[in-house]
Amino acid sequence: MGGVVLMLWVLGHQGGAQVLGSVFAGAAAVQRGAVMIRDMVHGRWGVDILALTAIVSTVAVGEYIAALIVVLMLYGGSALEDYATARAKGELSALLDRVPQTAHREQPGGKLEDVAATQIVPGDVLVLRPAEVVPVDGRLLSAAGSFDESAITGESLPVELVRGGSVLSGSGNGAAAVRLAATAAAEHSQYSRIVALVRVAAASGAPVVRLADRYAVPFTVLGLVLGGVAWLISGQALRFAEVLVVATPCPLLIAAPWHFSAA
């Protein structure tokens, strides 16, 4: 839509460009305002309050180009935030998909039984078949073993262990079956703690996002007060719109979700 408005403006149809740009910006403000009101009812306040006020005021005084720029920043930030949220959910799903649901527990006499990973207790002897994921933290009982710990430590090369070495849950067994003794239950193992930390991080958001939301209300009040003073002193509504456009934290609308998506 912005491209159409720009084309009309370049071709000399300023009137059509203004009408189209104003209608588009107004519709965007109405749509975003509905979302904002719903969030406010649930106690969530964001940095887009001032941006919406700036859009409405610039459209009202005929400064449709400024309104479109604020709309671009506002929806660009939302798109980045949606992307970051989807990526975080995807990464969490990938972690959860690696969590073993069963394990091969060795019984007296060497017989194996398949049990739920949550039933494993410290001291249980487990047998890992080739390429299986380690269900709990353990101590290697076999003479040697090779484990892929890239999902935990990021190290791409396999880790070679000898008897007595510590085996991390979530690591992948190599090409040979090995025996290990569980040293922790599933919920207290390394991989479960990593999954729990990722859940908390995904739910809480990046620090810069929380900081932006914390100061959204006082910053909005300050911007409105300054805009009102400028209008009162000058006697021109245009000054109110100009102050709001300057005060609108457009870089923050982009920077906060960008920081979150890059984290």
Q: Is 86's pLDDT higher than 80? A: no
Percent pLDDT > 90 in the chain is 27
At 94 the pLDDT is: 74
Please give the structure tokens belonging to residue 38: 């719903």
pLDDT > 60? residue 38: yes
Rounded mean pLDDT, 124-137? 94
* Higher pLDDT among residues 9 and 262, named by residue: 9
244 vs 42, 74, 180, 251, CA distance in Å?
A: 26, 14, 65, 14
User: Counting Cβ atoms within 10 Å, is residue 46 exposed (0-12), middle (13-18) or buried (19+)?
Assistant: buried
Give mean pLDDT, residues 178-199.
87
Strands (E) located in the chain:
102-106, 112-116, 125-128, 138-140, 144-148, 159-162, 166-167, 172-173, 178-182
Which range among 63-72, 140-149, 200-209 shows the weakest confidence by mean pLDDT? 200-209
Look at 28-32, 45-49, 103-107, 153-157 and tell me which has the smallest mean pLDDT.
45-49
Distance CA 119, CA 83 (A): 37
Residue 135 has pLDDT above 90, yes or no: yes
Dihedral angle, C-alpha 188, 190, 196, 198, nearest 10 °: 180
Secondary element (H or E) of residue 91: helix 64-97
Q: Does 177 or 91 have the greater pLDDT score?
A: 177
Question: SS3 of 165, please?
Answer: coil
- By mean pLDDT, which of 28-42, 83-97, 192-206, 245-259 is the weakest? 245-259
Give the pLDDT band of residue 78 (cuts 50, 70, 90): confident
Q: How far apart are CA 119 and CA 102, in angstroms?
A: 9
Q: Tell me, what DSSP letter sits at residue 170? A: T
Residue 30 has pLDDT above 60, yes or no: yes
